[in-house]
Amino acid sequence: MSYEQVSNYINDLVLYDGYDFVAPTKLELKNAVNATLYRNIAAGSYATIVCPFSITGGADGTFYQPSSMGTEYNTLNFESVSAPEAGKAYLYKANNAVTKLTGKRYTTVSTSIISSGTSFTMEGTYSKIEKLSQGDYVLSGNSSGAGIYRINSDVSLSPFRAYFRINATASNAAKMAICLDGVPTAITQTKQAEGEKIPYYDLLGRRTGRPAQWMYITKGKTIFAR
């Protein structure tokens, strides 16, 4: 972290991925302070992002906030936002490579970073978390097959990222699929209990009866019904 001091204020705030950000206590952030976070995000990949400033430049992709949870299909639903705010956690899908995020900060920095949806939240951090709680979830995978996985071992979280906390009564799945503005990015693998009818899903991830004539997914395989 670096900054340019003007009088008793911080005029320019520069943050670097991998380095903790601790909000100044004796100095104040000047109104409309210029802010930059240097972070590399590959084209086509997913990331969780939290910034102590509203993001207005540098991003070439879409930001999503938590919406709701589809308990039957173990899916977390997100909805897109056009103006990412300071101090909130977002899921981000990059169209092209990103090297830095820029913006403005108008108010004091809050250390409480929680974005809430129905039955789950995204909780962010400006400093490294050495060990996340088992039972929480983290984003894993950078391609279209990225998923949100339940933590069952020692996992750390780098600064300017977020993890997922899911209502304990809602799901205990090992993996949650991601659905963006109603469009699923993957279908969670399901296990068939003994004696249970084989489930079929259409290409939108919706469970359906035995197919008549169309393309369906069952037991992790794509089939053509005629």
Chain segment 51-108, per-residue pLDDT in tens: 988 999 999 999 999 999 876 658 899 999 999 998 999 999 999 999 999 998 765 6
- pTM of the entire structure? 0.76
The candidate with the shortest Cα–Cα distance to 34, out of 18, 57, 17, 63, is: 57
Beta strand 147-150 with 175-180 is antiparallel
The pLDDT of 9-17, averaged and rounded, is 82
pLDDT of residue 153: 87
Quick check: 192 pLDDT over 50? Answer: no
High-pLDDT (> 90) share of the chain, %: 42
**Residue 73: what are its φ and ψ, rounded to 5°?**
-110, 10
Kindly list the distances between the CA atom of residue 217 and the CA atoms of 38, 204, 209, 213, in Å, as whole numbers in the listed order.
41, 10, 12, 13
Order across the sheet with 9-16: list the strands: 2-6, 9-16, 28-41, 98-105, 54-57
Give the containing element (helix H, strand E) for 37. Answer: strand 28-41
CA–CA gap between residue 207 and residue 66 (Å, rounded): 23
At residue 104, the pLDDT reads: 83
Pick the closest to residue 69 from 173, 204, 152, 140 (CA basis). Answer: 173
Q: How many Å separate Cα 92 from the centre of its chain?
A: 6
**Average pLDDT across the chain, whole number:** 78
